[in-house]
Amino acid sequence: MSPQERIHELTDKINYYNYQYYQNSISEVDDYTFDTLLEELIGLERQYPEFRRPDTPSLRVGGTVSKEFPTVYHRFPMLSLGNTYSEVELVEFDNRVRKGLNDQPYTYVCELKFDGVALSMTYENGVLVQGATRGDGVRGDDITHNIRTIRTLPLRIHGDKIPPLFEVRGEGFLPLAEFERINKEREDIGEPLLANPRNAASGTFKQQDSAIVAKRRLDCYLYSFLSEPEIFQTHEESLVAMNQWGFNVSPTWRTCRTIQEVMAYIQEWETNRYSLPLATDGIVIKVNRYDQQRELGFTAKSPRWAIAYKYKAQAASTTLNSVSYQVGRTGAVTPVAHLKPVLLAGTVVKRASLHNANEIQRLGVMLNDTVFIEKGGEIIPKVTGVDLAKRTAASVPIDYPTHCPACGTPLVRKEGEAHFYCPNEKSCPPQRQARLEHFIQRRAMNIESLGEGKIELLIDKGLLENPADLYDLTTEKLLGLEKAYTDEESGKIRVVSFREKTVENILTAIERSRQQPFPNVLFALGIRYVGNTTAEKLADYFGSMDELMAAPYETLVNVPEVGPRIAQSIVAWFADPDNQRFVERLRQAGLQFAADRKIVEPESSKLDGKTFLYTGTFAHFSREELEERIQANGGKLLSGVSKKLSYLIVGENAGPSKVDKARKLGVNMIGEQEFIAMIS
């Protein structure tokens, strides 16, 4: 089979498995087989870029960086909908529809109103060729690269009756679980939290690096089909067909014959919507028949054949009993409202978020006030206001602490930040504990058998001051340790004790953690702003802890995805003598301080006897890929510019020092295209 045929075969096969998985929830192959096929395809496409198909699943993993998004004009304008919060107005809408249709019979389709970002996707000959945002309704941004990362969106569809050119529209969103996961990760590295899933989705779709987009599992529900000429008679038919062709159509829609049936749908989903994987803020009611939609037409802004009914935000009012202050891993102090328990959207709420000191001031809230709380897209309810009519003499101002509630150190506030911080990073107990929890988490050193109260016990007994102490633990030190705790939430007493089996599990996990890869170790250090992705990029770039520690600010800011803020944070972290001692202890403990270099399959001997170094960034390769190509074709990588160097490959934003030195020594400098020509 020729490479081109194999590329075709792999593309079809992988797209088919994706379709089965995302549309029908069937795994026809295990993850390993799937990944192997995908890797083979990526390898072949790299060697034969000319055979890469436009619907290749390899684009799902992202990798394209755009400076800015081109503007695209929508073939059909993207309109918005009239809104209402009232059932009376819905009846009026129904009356207008009846009148507009001169009393012909009609039906509605009800759908949920998904709270995300409106997207429009164009397909030519069944292949996804363009994805765009709504923009101002007439023109939007071309974000095709980012849209391709949505795994449930077919890159190619098959079936009869598919018009050669059509558009599908829908709502792009960040599933709630994914939103929570991202915020957990951000909290972990001291990044400000994303406000709600909608903003998070919209920010993600406008990310310039599609590889980052691919890491956030965006999704999309489709709700319109547009083609000229029209191929369906009703909206209902279009939803059924889109679903059959493999588009992700939420199964929550329903055809209703009367406005009463619409009301029943609204009531049913008022609380049921909280069980959906995404935020919704209402329902959309659409006249079903397209000819009737045409007859009703549009106003200047929105169709007369559709309306959005919005649910009022679920709110309740209750008493603010007290405010507690939590200190996170980075020392940020977060106020939490403790409330008289109240029922809200089906759950009992006892606590709500007050975000930060600014927010308390903005709300003007006092202790013992009656406060309004709301549940929006996010899971934790928030305090949204004060019922001033109910304020009594019992209300007293909230004294925002000036000192850390945990260790008593005076709090500081950095320029432009909404949070106060406890600067006692090293010995403030909650900061210390959070640092340990960060260190043992799965994505770091994976010593999770130490979770749930066991860490507290070790801290209490003075055995864990610093994560490096983990590697000094022994059976003798652990066996028999015991402590009773009162569970804050339930008031129950819980005993944590280290029996033989527990100790064995803990020590095995610690032992195994010595093999955790270098990027995990780097992430585990807990350097502010260095999350998983940044740790991977740093590991890729520097290859070892020593190289990273020696890197000056100027080198760090050149690493992909590392900006001035991260670079500064890394430099400051490694400059601290305590941190240096910590790193040395981890080295003594035998943790992985260097990246595994991949074994590269040979491709040719075109670069035999030649040496290479590169500088800057490249359009077709990551640094890792470039290194792989050099090695696979027989070339050798050098670590600095010298007379021995045959070629310096110069990319965008190349480092001036390397280029200058190469010029002085008369080393050949080539661009990316010349390099590609050398190996193809």
Bind-site residues for NAD(+): 31-35, 80-81, 111, 134, 171, 286, 310
Nearer to ligand IVH, 223 or 618 (CB): 223
Q: How much is the CA Rg of the chain, to the nearest whole Å? A: 29
Contact flag: residue 118 with ligand IVH (CB under 6 A): yes
Contact range with ligand IVH by CB under 6 A, out of 203-211, 270-278, 300-308, 602-610: 300-308
State the number of binding residues for ligand IVH (CB under 6 A).
15
Residue 548 · residue 587 · CB < 8 Å: no
Alpha-carbon gap, residue 258 to 451, rounded angstroms: 55
Q: Which stretch binds ligand IVH (CB under 6 A): 17-25, 112-120, 209-217, 236-244?
A: 112-120
Nearby residues of 508 by Cβ (< 8 Å), 6 or more positions away: 449
In this chain, which of 111, 167, 369, 536 binds ligand IVH, going by CB under 6 A? 111
> 10 Å Cβ neighbour count for 103?
8
Instruction: Give the interface segment with ligand IVH, choosing from 15-23, 96-104, 302-310, 446-454 (CB under 6 A).
Output: 302-310
Q: Considering beta carbons, is residue 113 or 355 the nearer one to ligand IVH?
A: 113
Q: Strand 382-386 to strand 370-375: parallel, antiparallel, or no bridges (unpaired)?
A: antiparallel
- Name, in order, each residue with C-beta under 8 angstroms of 118's C-beta and a sequence gap of 6 or more: 78, 133, 134, 169, 170, 171, 172
What type of residue sits at position 88? V
- To ligand IVH, the closest distance from the beta carbon of 280 in angstroms equals 8
Burial of residue 446, with CB atoms counted within 10 A of its CB: 0-12 exposed, 13-18 middle, 19 or more buried = middle
Q: Which is nearer to ligand IVH, 111 or 141 (CB)?
A: 111
Binding residues: 31-35, 80-81, 111, 134, 171, 286, 310, 404, 407, 422, 428
Q: Are strands 611-615 and 493-497 parallel, antiparallel or unpaired?
A: unpaired
Helix (H) / strand (E) element for 9: namely helix 3-24
Least distance CB 92 / ligand IVH (angstroms): 19
Interaction between residue 34 and ligand IVH (CB under 6 A): no
| Tokens 């965008």, located at residue | 652
Nearer to ligand IVH, 36 or 80 (CB): 80
Give the CA dihedral 52, 54, 55, 57, nearest 10 degrees: 50
Closer Cβ to ligand IVH, 133 or 534, answer by number: 133
Among 303, 401, 423, 671, binds ligand IVH (CB under 6 A): 303
| Secondary structure class of 39 (helix, strand, coil) | helix
Binding of residue 285 to ligand IVH (CB under 6 A): no
Phi, psi of 353 (to 5 degrees): -85, 140
Q: Report the residue number, 53 or 273, with the smaller CB distance to ligand IVH.
A: 273
CB of 135 to ligand IVH, least distance (A): 11
Decide if 122 contacts 129 (C-beta within 8 A).
yes
> What H or E segment, with its residue span, contains residue 335?
strand 332-344
- The residue within the footprint of ligand IVH, chosen from 7, 37, 72, 284 (CB under 6 A), is 284
79 counts as binding ligand IVH under rule CB under 6 A: yes
**Which stretch, 109-117, 530-538, 551-559, 671-679, contacts ligand IVH (CB under 6 A)?**
109-117
CA distances from 329 to 333, 439, 580 (A): 10, 11, 19
- Least Å distance, CB 202 to ligand IVH, is 11
Main-chain phi, psi angles of 185, to 5 degrees = -65, -40
Residues 348-387 that bind ligand IVH (CB under 6 A): none
Please list every residue from 305 through 324 that binds ligand IVH, using CB under 6 A.
306, 308
Site string for ligand IVH, 164-183 (x = CB under 6 A): -------x------------
Residue nearest to ligand IVH (CB): 118
Cross-strand pairs, 173: 219
CB 5 within 8 A of CB 11: no
Shortest Å, Cβ 76 to ligand IVH: 10
Question: Which residues in 213-232 contact ligand IVH (CB under 6 A)?
Answer: 223-224
Q: Which of the residues 67, 113, 492, 636 is marked catalytic?
A: 113
Residue 277 as a binder of ligand IVH (CB under 6 A): the answer is: no
Nearer to ligand IVH, 48 or 290 (CB): 290
Is the Cβ of residue 306 or residue 458 nearer to ligand IVH in the bound state? 306
CB contact at 8 A, 581 and 543: no
114 belongs to the binding site for ligand IVH (CB under 6 A): yes
Q: Which residues are annotated as a binding site for Zn(2+)?
A: 404, 407, 422, 428
Q: How far is CA 109 from the centre of its chain?
A: 32
| Residues whose CB is less than 8 angstroms from the CB of residue 325 and which lie 6 or more positions away in sequence, other chains included | 333, 334, 335, 336, 401, 405
* 598 is known as an active-site residue: no
What is the Cβ-side half-sphere exposure of residue 128, based on CA atoms within 13 angstroms?
A: 31
The residue among 283, 311, 279, 312 whose CA lies nearest residue 196 is: 279
SS3 state of residue 427 = coil
Q: Please report how close the Cβ of residue 57 comes to ligand IVH at its closest, in angstroms.
A: 27
User: First-to-last CA distance in the chain?
Assistant: 20
Q: What is the pattern of x (binds ligand IVH, CB under 6 A) and - over residues 479-508?
A: ------------------------------
Q: Does 113 bind ligand IVH (CB under 6 A)?
A: yes
- Smallest gap from Cβ 136 to ligand IVH, in A, equals 12
If the CB atoms of residues 82 and 401 are measured against ligand IVH, the closer one turns out to be 82
Q: Which residues contact 578 (CB under 8 A, 6 or more apart)?
A: 426
Contact present, 200 and 174 (Cβ < 8 Å): yes
3-state secondary structure of 157: coil
* Coil, strand or helix at 536: helix
Angle (nearest 5°) at CA 639 between 634 and 644:
70
**Smallest distance from the beta carbon of 224 to ligand IVH, in angstroms?**
6
Q: Which is nearer to ligand IVH, 140 or 154 (CB)?
A: 140
Interface segment toward ligand IVH; rule CB under 6 A; list 5-13, 75-83, 569-577, 598-606: 75-83
Beta carbon of residue 279, minimum distance to ligand IVH (angstroms, whole number): 11
Residue 512 Cβ vs ligand IVH, minimum distance, rounded to whole Å: 47
Query: What residues are annotated to the active site?
Result: 113
Residues in the site for ligand IVH, rule: CB under 6 A? 79-81, 111, 113-114, 118, 134, 171, 223-224, 284, 303, 306, 308
